[in-house]
Amino acid sequence: MHLKLLGVEDVVEYLVSGEADFAVTILQEEDERFAVIPLYQEPVVMFPETHRCRQLVDAACAIKGFTLHPHIETTTIDSLLQLVRSGAGVTILSKTLLEMYDLEKLCLLPLRNPSLTRKVGIVYLKDKYLGAAAREFITLIQERVQTLKKIQVQG
């Protein structure tokens, strides 16, 4: 078995070219080429404008009649968190991302009644055979997400 993890903005080209068997990503509009396995929904906060969730937030802001004007934009979460730690500014991030990174020296303020959500799931080409290893890994991801959901409900 060979496992290769990629951190890319656009998973479509990797799936279509066969470089990736499946992807865990923010779900977009339906694309008939792909099968989708929903994992969870989370409130959307802000990423740099190159990210899909930032685009969703920008669209929601536009509906409410205002535009976000960040003073600094960065495409990496590590640099964004370092800028916040250094006092350069504040940011809005998703709960999922916050749980994945070191939050030392950061003050977290939860949003009240966040109205935006994003659907996160696994996508793969419908017409491409998924090997046993890929199917098993997908099952492991689904089981882990279910476990995390139970922990959140209990906590």
Q: Which residues of 72-100 are buried (b: 16+ CB within 10 A; e: fewer)?
A: eebeebeebbebbeeeeeebbbbeeeeee
Asked if 45 and 98 touch (Cβ cutoff 8 Å), the reply is no
Three-state DSSP state, 105: coil
Mean pLDDT of the chain: 81
**pLDDT of 58 strictly over 70:** yes
Backbone φ and ψ for 71, nearest 5 degrees, come out as -80, -30
Region 35-54: what's the mean pLDDT? 74
Residue 96 above 80 pLDDT? Answer: no
What is the predicted pLDDT for the residue at 155? Answer: 60
pTM of the predicted model over 0.75: no
Report, as an integer, the average pLDDT of 47-74: 76
Which two tokens mark 41? 């929904």
Tokens of 151: 């922990």
Confidence of residue 45 (pLDDT cuts 50, 70, 90): very low
Instruction: Kindly list the strands in the beta sheet with 34-43, ordered across the sheet, starting from the edge strand earlier in the chain.
Output: 23-26, 117-125, 34-43
Residue 138 has pLDDT above 90, yes or no: yes
Token pair, residue 144, equals 């882990």
Q: Which residue has the higher pLDDT, 139 or 85?
A: 139
- Diameter of the chain by CA atoms? 51
